[in-house]
Amino acid sequence: MADQGIYLGSESTMYRILRELKINIHRQSSLPAKKHSPDPLIANAPNQLWSWDITYLPSTVRGRFFYLYMVMDLYSRKAVACQVYEYESGDLAADLITDACLLEKIPKDQETLHSDNGSPMKCATMLAKLQNLGIMPSFSRPSISNDNPYSESLFRTLKYRPEYPDKPFKTLFEAREWANRFIQWYNKEHLHSSIHFVTPEARHTGEDIKILAKRRNVYLKAKLKNPERWSRQIRNWNPDTEVILTKFKKSQNSSENRKKAA
């Protein structure tokens, strides 16, 4: 109309009139497109939902890295499998998942394995192995790095340990030795803040129930002894009954997501 020399009103005015007359609604026979948020993955016991990823470990050779493969159980936060290799490979990842299933005695159609969209995670060998083991694969959304916060949080814990070497690893054997020591500490000594300060091993075996019940009794006795010093209820020492892996929106801050997983 402007090309014809005619002006009746602004574009926003025209859209307002269309809305008032209900002319700008979906008019096709098909239903309008709906936005669906991804379904969360839920675990209420060990060995239901695993997460895995690969991180770099520096070597003394410039431009060369060692690759640490890590599989963790989201319910207990236990690292159920860990190995260091000289390169990324779907074949090596498939072998690691197989070892984890044997160690944890995982039956078919019980486990879901979540990962990002890296080539080792989605290669044909890896997917075929998961199908053979009866494991359901789950992947992060493309280009969204914070859909796998539990593995990211574990790697952050690993690399921010005071014992993490200041210098690069000289050999593959040295990197594997350090990774094994870290796993022993993390699973059996580390009091994890997100599971009420018990070790992942205790959470994985169910020992955390007795540990947390004992702590609760200690706090209750302390409150009964000096009730005037307590302005509110005692600390929550009840074990969590489930863990939810939510695929977060892209707009959320990735550091916040890692904090929830820590």
Give which of 84, 80, 55 is closest to 175, Cα–Cα: 84
| pTM given for the model | 0.78
- Say which CATH number the domain at 103 has: 3.30.420.10
Q: Which two tokens stand for residue 79?
A: 């690292």
Please report the pLDDT score of residue 117 as a whole number: 87
For residue 211, being part of any structural domain is answered with: no
Under a CB-based contact definition with an 8 Å cutoff, are residues 119 and 139 in contact?
no
Please report the pLDDT score of residue 247 as a whole number: 54
Alpha-carbon distance of 11 to 5, in angstroms, equals 16
The chain-wide mean pLDDT, for the chain, equals 86
Residue 200 has pLDDT above 50, yes or no: yes
For residue 19, being part of any structural domain is answered with: no
Q: What is the largest CA-CA distance in the chain?
A: 88
Q: With residue 73 as reference, give the H or E element that holds it.
A: strand 65-73
Give which of 201, 191, 205 is closest to 237, Cα–Cα: 191
Please report the pLDDT score of residue 86 as a whole number: 95
For residue 12, being part of any structural domain is answered with: no
For residue 228, being part of any structural domain is answered with: no
Under a CB-based contact definition with an 8 Å cutoff, are residues 63 and 87 in contact?
no
For residue 246, being part of any structural domain is answered with: yes
Number of domains, the chain: 1
Q: With residue 184 as reference, give the H or E element that holds it.
A: helix 172-188
Q: Which two tokens stand for residue 8?
A: 């009746």
State which residues form the domain around 55: 41-200+242-261
